[in-house]
Chains A and B, each alone.
Chain A
Amino acid sequence: MSRLSIQKLRKSWGDPPAADDIDFTVESGEFVALLGPSGCGKSTTLRMIAGLEAPDSGHIYLNDKEITHLSPGKRDLAMVFQSYALFPHLSVRENILFGLQVRKVSKEEQKRRLNFVIELVDLGSHLHKKPGQLSGGQCQRVALARAVISEARLCLMDEPLSNLDAKLRAEMRSELRALQQRLGMTVLYVTHDQTEAMSMADRIILLNRGRIEQIGRPEELYNQPATTFAAQFIGAPPMNLIRIENRVLGVRPEHIQLVQPGMGLKSSHRAVVKGCDYLGADTLIQLQLDEHSLQLRITGHQKLQPGSSLEISWAEQDQHSFCRTSGQRVAADALQEQHIEYTKKETHYAA
């Protein structure tokens, strides 16, 4: 059915380029998230795919047909905008049917599709209202309905949930995912929120400074971050990075365990408590390990006095290692050596 393929896409307004060397594919029926901090080029990439921005170089293919230079309306794709982009002078019904009317789809077909999507997004009672009379969540549904009704091959979404409040956002997240699964939609979803990307996407494309950092399934990004950037961007709070000589060692706060003092585990380290943040289900503890700052996440309400010391350790498989200069992940066989290196150093301190 629909397969999007991006090759060597580049767009620059100056130095550094807004997007450079962007290369990826989205398979039919797949939900792919373009994730990254603001200014990383994710929206630029999306707008180039939509045809709203012309790339400097590179190619965009949809179903093996090159669409790089087609006008937005001829690309056979739909788009949901962050601001919903509903036309304020049109009713909900007219907004949803806007594209079909522009494309002169027959009246019967319009009616058939409208009935289908209205039921899908549960908007039946609001058809004659203007967007100004709707809540944020309802506006979101109208925008979604407008994208679904076009039956386009590809649906682009530009941070569609970021204007909703936290509770509604969580609801819409699962609703959107369910809708995508039910209709088998191919979705490319731009977000800066890693929770959204992790919970909804089949695959995540992580962008940083206009370049792709890593492409992979959510668990791959979490378990095997390709770079220090990926390691710090995925997961909350971010992964602890400890710089030792020419390597960077990474451990997630949730993978650090407390060890009973005096157990004499050879891989345990003594750290000093700097502060605690109680989050409800668990507590975040700031630690000082030698000259490194660490965060540790443990369940329950833990009251620890600043200045007290803790014995911590982590499993070897939870430890990540990166090159200090390039930030690239170092292969697994080097991991063992890395761990020993840290232990040695600590022994050195103790001596």
Chain B
Amino acid sequence: MMVLAINTSAVNNQLSLAEKICAWILGFLWLMPLLFAFWAAFHPAEYTTHFDLLAPLTLEHFYSAWEQAPFARYMLNTLIITTIILGCQLVLCTLAGYVLARIPFRGQGLVMALVMMQLMVMPEVLIVENYRTLADLNMIDTWVGVGLPYMASAFGIFLLRQTFAIVPQALDDAARVEGCSRLQVLWKVYVPQAKPVYLAYALVSISYHWNNFLWPLVVTNTEASRPLTVGMAIFGAPESGVDWPMICAGTLIAVSPLLAAFLIFQKQFVQSFMRAGIK
């Protein structure tokens, strides 16, 4: 989807014809599974692997998928987990980013280096250790348990630090002379100016955690905290017999909120990567 989005935006006129064709092919390949999911979900089972433009449309798979798995509960779990993570990330990254950008302290360079190093560590590497910590905290199979390892996001801290660092120092000074405390300066001067960055970061974070699978699979045991992705995997597990149209319908139910959000915020989504200098 990234490829497609970049392809259709501003870069368009700078590309040669060959590059354009390649981009379209890549984009199409990228889109194939989604197109198949749409096809399979909206048509009777006999047409799943049989392409016919005149095949009758049906919503039965959506009904049965919704009946067979507690999608509403999974959706609620995903929504709450994503919200908790995003909320904590915004607060923590804002505070950390501001301190790293504007308040000098001993060892600042070291802290910044550690944050940057965290960017390079895949969270999956830490699964065992994180599980042990959460077990000690008695947080296995809770919403917070799913979210906790992601709350101090290095990417978010880095992104906001960069954004805050280019806010003119004079604005900070002016707000302080006008009577603002440090936190008021942050809230009234820095945060409003970083609005587009917050939006972009929120989109990236939501899409990542909405789709996150491995960690929630490890740390959740019951419907009480299981998010959509894990629920989908159990729903489509081979021992219950593979029913492709129903899995596709379930998948579409799962991704639809995200898909809608992506289509609406496509531009900001791409910009967020440009802004952070990471493509």
Known: A52-B173, A81-B174, A102-B184. A88 touches B193 (CB 8 A): yes
Do B179 and A79 touch across chains, with their CB atoms under 8 A apart? no
Q: How far is the CA of A71 from the CA of B181 in the complex (A)?
A: 9
Rounded to whole Å, the gap between the CB of A103 and the closest CB of chain B is 5
Do A72 and B177 touch across chains, with their CB atoms under 8 A apart? yes
* Beta-carbon contacts under 8 Å, A223-273 to B: none
Task: Report, as a range, how many residues of chain B touch the other chain.
Answer: 10 to 19
- Which residues of chain B are within 8 angstroms of A51 by Cβ–Cβ distance? 176-177
Do A103 and B179 touch across chains, with their CB atoms under 8 A apart? yes
Q: How far is the CA of A129 from the CA of B20 in the complex (A)?
A: 42
Q: How far is the CA of A103 from the CA of B176 in the complex (A)?
A: 11
> What 1/0 flags go to A140-179 for Cβ under 8 Å of B?
0000001000100000000000000000000000000000
A197 within 8 A of B: no
B189 within 8 A of A: yes
- Which residues of chain A are within 8 angstroms of B177 by Cβ–Cβ distance? 50-52, 72-73, 77-79
Do A102 and B179 touch across chains, with their CB atoms under 8 A apart? yes
Contact among A47, A82, A89, A99 with B178 in the assembled complex (CB-CB below 8 Å): A99
Rounded to whole Å, the gap between the CB of B152 and the closest CB of chain A is 27
Determine the residue in chain A with the shortest Cβ distance to B179.
Answer: A73
* Beta-carbon contacts under 8 Å, B179-225 to A: 179-181, 184, 188-189, 192-193, 195
Determine the residue in chain B with the shortest Cβ distance to A71.
Answer: B176
Rounded to whole Å, the gap between the CB of B228 and the closest CB of chain A is 36
A83 within 8 A of B: yes
- Which residues of chain B are within 8 angstroms of A52 by Cβ–Cβ distance? 173, 176-177
A85 within 8 A of B: yes
Do A73 and B171 touch across chains, with their CB atoms under 8 A apart? no
- Which residues of chain A are within 8 angstroms of B193 by Cβ–Cβ distance? 88-89
* Beta-carbon contacts under 8 Å, A40-98 to B: 47, 50-52, 71-74, 77-79, 81-83, 85, 87-90, 98
Secondary structure type dominating chain B contacts: helix
Instruction: Please give the number of chain A residues whose Cβ is less than 8 angstroms from any Cβ of chain B in the complex.
Output: 25
Contact among B181, B184, B189 with A87 in the assembled complex (CB-CB below 8 Å): B189
Known: A83-B168, A85-B168. A50 touches B180 (CB 8 A): no
Do B168 and A73 touch across chains, with their CB atoms under 8 A apart? no
* Beta-carbon contacts under 8 Å, A261-311 to B: none
- Which residues of chain A are within 8 angstroms of B170 by Cβ–Cβ distance? 81-83, 85
Rounded to whole Å, the gap between the CB of A139 and the closest CB of chain B is 12
A-B contact count (CB 8 A): 62
Contact among A50, A82, A85, A146 with B171 in the assembled complex (CB-CB below 8 Å): A85
Q: How far is the CA of A347 from the CA of B95 in the complex (A)?
A: 77
Rounded to whole Å, the gap between the CB of A205 and the closest CB of chain B is 21
Determine the residue in chain B with the shortest Cβ distance to A84.
Answer: B170
Determine the residue in chain A with the shortest Cβ distance to B195.
Answer: A89
Rounded to whole Å, the gap between the CB of A329 and the closest CB of chain B is 38
Rounded to whole Å, the gap between the CB of A70 and the closest CB of chain B is 12
> What 1/0 flags go to A301-324 for Cβ under 8 Å of B?
000000000000000000000000
Do A50 and B192 touch across chains, with their CB atoms under 8 A apart? no
B175 within 8 A of A: yes
Do B178 and A150 touch across chains, with their CB atoms under 8 A apart? yes
Do B178 and A50 touch across chains, with their CB atoms under 8 A apart? no
Q: How far is the CA of A98 from the CA of B188 in the complex (A)?
A: 10
- Which residues of chain B are within 8 angstroms of A72 by Cβ–Cβ distance? 173, 176-177
* Beta-carbon contacts under 8 Å, B40-87 to A: none
Q: How far is the CA of A146 from the CA of B173 in the complex (A)?
A: 14
Rounded to whole Å, the gap between the CB of B207 and the closest CB of chain A is 27
Known: A73-B179, A73-B181, A99-B178. A79 touches B173 (CB 8 A): yes
Rounded to whole Å, the gap between the CB of B213 and the closest CB of chain A is 39
- Which residues of chain A are within 8 angstroms of B195 by Cβ–Cβ distance? 89
Rounded to whole Å, the gap between the CB of B65 and the closest CB of chain A is 45
Known: A85-B168, A87-B189, A88-B193. A102 touches B173 (CB 8 A): no
Q: How far is the CA of A83 from the CA of B173 in the complex (A)?
A: 11
Q: How far is the CA of A323 from the CA of B204 in the complex (A)?
A: 70
Rounded to whole Å, the gap between the CB of A309 and the closest CB of chain B is 54
Interface centre among A82, A87, A150 (most CB of B within 10 A): A87
Rounded to whole Å, the gap between the CB of B224 and the closest CB of chain A is 42
Q: How far is the CA of A150 from the CA of B180 in the complex (A)?
A: 14
Q: Which residues of B contact A (CB under 8 A)?
A: 168, 170-171, 173-181, 184, 188-189, 192-193, 195
Apart from A73-B176, A73-B181, A87-B175, list 16 A-B contacts with CB within 8 A.
A52-B177, A71-B176, A73-B177, A73-B178, A74-B179, A77-B177, A79-B174, A81-B173, A85-B173, A85-B174, A89-B195, A98-B175, A98-B188, A102-B175, A102-B179, A102-B188
List 21 contacting pairs A-B, 8 Å CB cutoff, sorted by A: A50-B173, A51-B177, A52-B176, A71-B181, A73-B176, A73-B181, A83-B170, A85-B170, A85-B171, A85-B174, A87-B171, A87-B174, A87-B192, A90-B192, A98-B178, A98-B188, A102-B178, A102-B179, A102-B180, A102-B188, A146-B178
Task: List the 6 shortest-distance A-B pairs measured between CB atoms, nearest first.
Answer: A73-B179, A99-B178, A85-B174, A85-B170, A89-B192, A72-B176
